[in-house]
């Protein structure tokens, strides 16, 4: 019976020391040594342009930042309008209540949590 070896580290499959990732574009499993990464987005080097992937990640980041800012602002304004500020501590610089803002789900997905 022939034992299979990993094509990258040449160890037996059960003893393989490679770190494996999943390509964000095609979903293929790739070892760490054959992957590119930018701001948490991992993709294989086969047929994926680096500059294109960087542009996609930057665009996604801008969308998430805008959504998070809007969500936080609307949560604070909602507390202010609904009278919840009466029992909260007030920020001395802005005169607005100090509130705990819930993170949007999209931000957690972007960060990979």
The string of pLDDT tens digits covering residues 8-21 is 788 887 888 888 88
Cβ(97)–Cβ(89) under 8 Å? yes
Does pTM top 0.75 for this prediction?
no
- What gap in Å lies between CA 108 and CA 43, rounded to an integer? 20
Only one residue has tokens 């760490």, namely 32
Per-residue pLDDT, 63: 92
> Is 3 inside any structural domain?
no
> Does residue 27 lie within any of the structural domains?
yes
Length of the chain: 113
Q: Is residue 88 part of a domain?
A: yes
- What is the count of structural domains for the chain? 1
Give pLDDT tens digits for 40-98: 888 888 878 889 989 999 999 999 999 888 887 777 666 556 565 566 677 788 877 67
Closest CA to 23 of 39, 37, 8: 37
In a domain, 15, yes or no: no
For residue 64, the enclosing domain spans: 20-111
Task: Kindly state whether residue 103 falls inside one of the protein's structural domains.
Answer: yes
Q: Which residues contact 24 (CB under 8 A, 6 or more apart)?
A: 41, 42, 43, 53
Q: What's the pLDDT at 61?
A: 92
């Amino acid at each position: 019976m022939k034992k299979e070896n990993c094509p990258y580290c040449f160890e037996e499959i059960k003893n393989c020391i490679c770190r494996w990732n999943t390509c964000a574009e095609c979903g293929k499993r790739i070892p760490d040594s054959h992957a590119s990464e930018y701001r948490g987005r991992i993709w294989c080097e086969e047929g994926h342009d680096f500059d294109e992937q960087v542009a996609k990640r930057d665009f996604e980041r801008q969308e998430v930042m805008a959504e998070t800012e809007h969500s936080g602002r609307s949560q604070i304004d909602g507390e202010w309008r609904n009278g919840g500020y009466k029992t909260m501590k007030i920020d001395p610089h802005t005169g607005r209540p100090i509130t705990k803002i819930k993170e949007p789900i999209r931000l957690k997905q972007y960060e990979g949590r």
